[in-house]
């Protein structure tokens, strides 16, 4: 039976935790669990482990399941944890069923990346997986497909609870939120850079990678946006934007690498190793740039 989740239950920061690797490029679940515990203690309530910033496309199905399980265990089942899926149909169902067995809150369909896609095919795929798995479901939209029309058609499915909307077309987002009339949780999937604009148009929350480094700051941003304190929200967004701008360089190709290195700069450093290929490797000069970029942000976080 699907656990009932209301849109307001997801109106918060959805943290995408990084995936740490050992020197031999194995997933380091011990380091992952330490980080998840810290984030949860600092107020993060929704986790999207092994998703895009976590290296979804460089992980095996078994690794994804192990990371999801470790996240559930690290929060003692007190946080909402959504398992990412979107590989072939059998692997998607496998990950979803394992997540259910391990106590995850739900599943999240990752962006549709295969060639030759259609709304018709995606609709059948989504419904098949949802009905096989039986957990609350998020859909991550990053391109033309799935279309907004398909999302509205699926909104009546009792397992679909929210949309992670990662297209920067604010007007299209506003229109689809209005048409949905409150059935789903609509979330900004473009992190803090677009959080203010999306929440002004009906998003209840947003995803965050920067929250790995500054969880209290991004939670304060969300609180300000919910309270309608736009001046404070803009101030907090400006503090976090240097992280997002650095990650966004060269077609977002620094997204993972920048954050992964930055974990060594925390007051309680964590060694996340190197990201798996084909993720970008940082140069010594870029590491120095990142250190300088983060100094004022981590200082601000420290004072909260």
Structural domain includes residue 146: yes
For the domain that residue 278 is a member of, what is the CATH number?
A: 3.20.20.70
Structural domain includes residue 80: yes
The pLDDT tens digits of the residues spanning 135-168 come to 999 999 999 999 999 999 999 999 999 999 999 9
- Rounded to two decimals, the pTM is 0.97
3-state secondary structure of 108: strand
Strand pairing category for 137-141 and 106-109: parallel
With tokens 């980080």, the residue in question is 35
* Mean pLDDT for the stretch of residues 58-77: 98
The pLDDT tens digits of the residues spanning 108-145 come to 999 998 899 999 999 999 999 999 999 999 999 999 99
What is the distance between the alpha carbons of residues 270 and 263, in angstroms, rounded to a whole number? 5
Residue 203 DSSP one-character state: -
What is the distance between the alpha carbons of residues 131 and 125, in angstroms, rounded to a whole number? 10
Q: What is the pLDDT of residue 3?
A: 59
* Mean pLDDT for the stretch of residues 84-113: 96
* Share of residues in the chain with pLDDT > 90 (%): 97
**What is 126-182 written as a DSSP string?**
HHHHHHHH-S-EEEEE-SSSS-HHHHHHHTTSTTEEEEEE----HHHHHHHHHHHTT
Q: What is the pLDDT of residue 1?
A: 43
> How many domains, the chain?
1
Average model confidence (pLDDT) across the chain: 97
Query: In whole angstroms, how far apart are CA 176 and each of 14, 125, 148, 217?
Result: 21, 22, 6, 29
From the list 46, 40, 44, 93, the residue with the least C-alpha distance to 65 is 93
Q: What is the pLDDT of residue 2?
A: 52
The pLDDT tens digits of the residues spanning 210-264 come to 999 999 999 999 999 999 999 999 999 999 999 999 999 999 999 999 999 999 9
- Specify the higher pLDDT residue, 87 or 184: 184
Structural domain includes residue 193: yes
Q: Are 188 and 209 in contact (CB under 8 A)?
A: no
Structural domain includes residue 116: yes
Structural domain includes residue 215: yes
Q: Are 38 and 211 in contact (CB under 8 A)?
A: no
Structural domain includes residue 234: yes
Provide the token pair at 210: 């920067």
- Give the structural domain span for 72: 8-303
With tokens 């250190």, the residue in question is 291
Structural domain includes residue 1: no
Supply φ then ψ for residue 84, to 5 degrees: -80, 140
Residue 9 DSSP one-character state: G
Structural domain includes residue 209: yes
């Amino acid at each position: 039976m699907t656990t009932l989740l209301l849109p307001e239950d997801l109106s918060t920061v959805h943290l995408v935790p990084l995936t740490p690797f050992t020197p031999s490029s194995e997933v380091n679940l011990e380091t992952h669990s330490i980080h998840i515990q810290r984030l949860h203690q600092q107020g993060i309530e929704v986790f999207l482990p092994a998703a895009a910033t976590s290296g979804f496309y460089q992980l095996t199905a078994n690794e994804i399941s192990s990371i999801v399980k470790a996240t559930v265990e690290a929060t003692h089942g007190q946080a909402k944890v959504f398992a990412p899926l979107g590989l072939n149909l059998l692997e998607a169902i496998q990950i979803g069923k394992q997540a259910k067995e391990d106590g995850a809150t739900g599943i999240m369909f990752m962006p549709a990346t295969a060639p030759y896609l259609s709304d018709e095919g995606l609709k059948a795929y989504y419904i098949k997986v949802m009905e096989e798995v039986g957990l609350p479901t998020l859909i991550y939209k990053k391109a033309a497909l799935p279309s907004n029309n398909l999302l509205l058609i699926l909104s009546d499915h009792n397992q679909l609870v929210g949309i992670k909307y990662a297209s920067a077309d604010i007007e299209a987002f506003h229109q689809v939120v209005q048409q949905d009339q409150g059935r789903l949780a609509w979330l900004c999937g473009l992190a803090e850079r677009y959080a203010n604009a999306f929440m002004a148009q009906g998003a209840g929350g947003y995803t965050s990678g920067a929250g790995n480094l500054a969880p209290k700051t991004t939670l304060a941003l969300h609180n300000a946006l919910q309270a309608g304190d736009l001046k404070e929200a803009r101030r907090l967004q400006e503090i976090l934007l240097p992280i997002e701008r650095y990650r966004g360089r060269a077609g977002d190709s620094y997204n993972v690498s920048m954050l992964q290195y930055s974990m060594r700069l925390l007051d309680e450093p964590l060694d996340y190793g190197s990201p798996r290929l084909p993720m970008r490797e940082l140069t010594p000069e870029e590491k120095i740039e990142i250190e300088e970029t983060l100094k004022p942000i981590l200082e601000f976080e420290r004072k909260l």
